Amino acid sequence: MRHRIAFRLALTFLLLTLAFSLVLGALFVLMFRGSVIDNKKQEMLAQAQAVAGTLVQDTWTGGKGRGGSPQRERYGSALQLLDDMSLGNAWIVDESLQLTTSGRGAHTPSYAQLPPDADAVVKQVFKGKTVFSQRFSGLMDSATLTLGYPVMRDEVVSAALLMHVPVSGISSAILQGSSMLFYSVLAALLLSAMVAMPLAKRLVRPLQCMQATALRLAQGEYDVQTGVHTQDEIGQLAQALDTLSVRLREARAESQRLDKLRRDFIANISHELRTPVTVIRGSLEALNEGIVGTPEQTAQYHAQMLAESRQLERLVNDLLDLSKLQSADYHLEKEQLNINEVISDAVRSARQMAQDKHIDISLTLPDQPMPVTGDYGRLRQMVMILLANAIKFSPPDSQVEVTLTGRTLQVADRGPGIDPEVLPHLFDRFHRTRAENNKDGSGLGLSILKEIADRHGIQVHIDNREGGGTVAQLTL
């Protein structure tokens, strides 16, 4: 079935409605039957009180003749009242079960015809109690409700009034009420059936939209959205699916970016490796073929091969460092240390590098120790990368300033600064300026610095300095 869930929802709704109607109907019939019977009892009680009051005004003489036959005088007012009330079956009974039937056309039963436990009802009445019983139904040839009511004279029970009312009228009223309930339930079920299916389809429609969205996502269409905006669990599920669509779209963009970076990385590393390998190979071929004749030329070729070998070694080492730092399985050997000692150690080494250009490196550190948790070697390498770049791009006879203020380290130089178009790409792999003083760079130094900083939770910011030069800031 095309709308299987909708059909099941509609069927469930109808079954629940039917079960609720049956339970409600059963309770209604029970309560209605009890209410009808109670109303009938109240009506009979009111009639019995009226008849008893009339009987008290009549003359009552009772005696038992031969064969137990009742003897009575006529109770004109009482008989007339019973006739007016259409109570054909009403008996006046004394304590010895002598009875008189009142009403026109009523059959007077004999003593032997009375039910075996009729005396129990009469005895209860003579104790001053009002009794309802259905024990006389067999005598009346139909279901009958009997009321036993005491007739009081001078505060003494002088007789028992037994009034018999057929239950058929009560059953007829109950049947009529049940029929009305049945037709009402049937109409409610028909109306529910007319409403349930459209309502179920309306509830299922968002699920169909989400199914279509999921299928399109599976086909790689990550721009699709469900279009469902309801404030319920279905709306939350649709929102989660829309969020998944956004995440997949972002993941695809990131994957494309990483793929481009991978291709660029392979192209760049191929270029960087090809240059020294080509130089070394050309020099070896010249030496092998005897093209170089003089000892001075041979020495120059050897020096060139040595320089290219060192450049190749630096490139390979930088690639290994970057690969390690980017690997999730690589763990730094972090410990509690004083960052002042790390900076001082790096500055001592950098001063040796700066001697050839006569660059002065000034160091300003706080008097108190600055404790940090990190890898000593990697933190020193990070500071050395900043110092090496500052020395590389600074003019001869200039100054590099290293200052630690609070938890912020600044390395400032007097170089030419950085092109604003280059600033956003400083930390990209193999990105380097084509300046003459950077011809030996691998383009991986700042990428390695960024990885070390991220591993230590350090923020890095590099920008041009007012008045010329560059300032690099590390926030520990």
Residue 151's φ and ψ, nearest 5 degrees, are -100, 115
* Helix/strand/coil for 162: strand
Fold identical between 233-325 and 332-475? no
Q: In what order do the strands lie in the sheet with 360-364?
A: 360-364, 399-405, 408-412, 470-475, 459-464
**Crossing angle of helices 376-393 and 339-354, rounded to 10°:** 40
Query: So what CATH class is 332-475?
Result: alpha beta
Which value, to the nearest 10 degrees, does the dihedral of the CA atoms of residues 176, 182, 184, 189 take? 180
Q: Which two tokens stand for residue 421?
A: 């178009």
Residue-level pLDDT at 450: 87
Pair 216, 201: CB distance under 8 Å: no
- 247 residue type, one letter: R
Helices (H), 327-444: 339-354, 376-393
- For residue 71, the model assigns a pLDDT of 38
CB 242 within 8 A of CB 417: no
Question: In sequence order, what are the residues at sequence separation of 6 or more whose Cβ sits closer than 8 angstroms to the Cβ of residue 9?
Answer: 196, 200, 203, 204
Buried b (16+ CB within 10 A) or exposed e, 365-387: beeeebebebbbebbbbbbbbbb
CA distances from 312 to 219, 308, 383, 433 (A): 46, 6, 23, 19
Structure tokens at 141: 């040839």
pLDDT of residue 364: 92
| Candidates 2.60.40.10, 2.60.120.1440, 1.10.287.130, 1.20.1530.20; CATH matching 233-325 | 1.10.287.130
Of 68, 53, 59, the C-alpha closest to 149 is 53
Contact 85, 47 (CB under 8 A): yes
First to last CA, the chain: 65
Alpha-carbon gap, residue 310 to 315, rounded angstroms: 9
User: What is the reported pLDDT for 185?
Assistant: 76
pLDDT at 111: 53
H helix runs in 136-167, sequence order: 137-140
Task: Check: pTM over 0.75? Answer yes or no.
Answer: no
Per-residue model confidence as pLDDT tens for the chain (476 residues): 455 766 666 677 777 777 777 777 777 777 777 777 788 788 888 888 877 777 666 544 444 433 443 434 445 455 555 655 555 567 777 766 666 654 444 555 555 556 666 777 878 888 888 888 877 666 666 667 788 888 887 778 878 888 777 766 666 766 777 777 777 778 877 777 777 677 766 777 777 787 788 888 888 888 888 877 777 777 788 888 888 888 888 888 888 877 876 777 677 677 667 777 888 888 888 888 877 778 888 888 888 888 888 778 877 777 777 777 777 777 888 899 999 999 999 999 889 888 889 999 999 999 899 999 998 988 988 898 899 888 988 899 999 999 999 889 999 998 888 888 777 777 776 555 544 445 455 567 788 888 888 888 999 998 888 778 899 999 98
Domain range annotation of the chain = 4-61+70-172, 233-325, 332-475
Predicted pLDDT at 409: 93
Domain 4-61+70-172: homologous superfamily in CATH: PAS domain (3.30.450.20)
Question: Any residues with CB less than 8 A from the CB of 320 and at least 6 apart, and which?
Answer: none
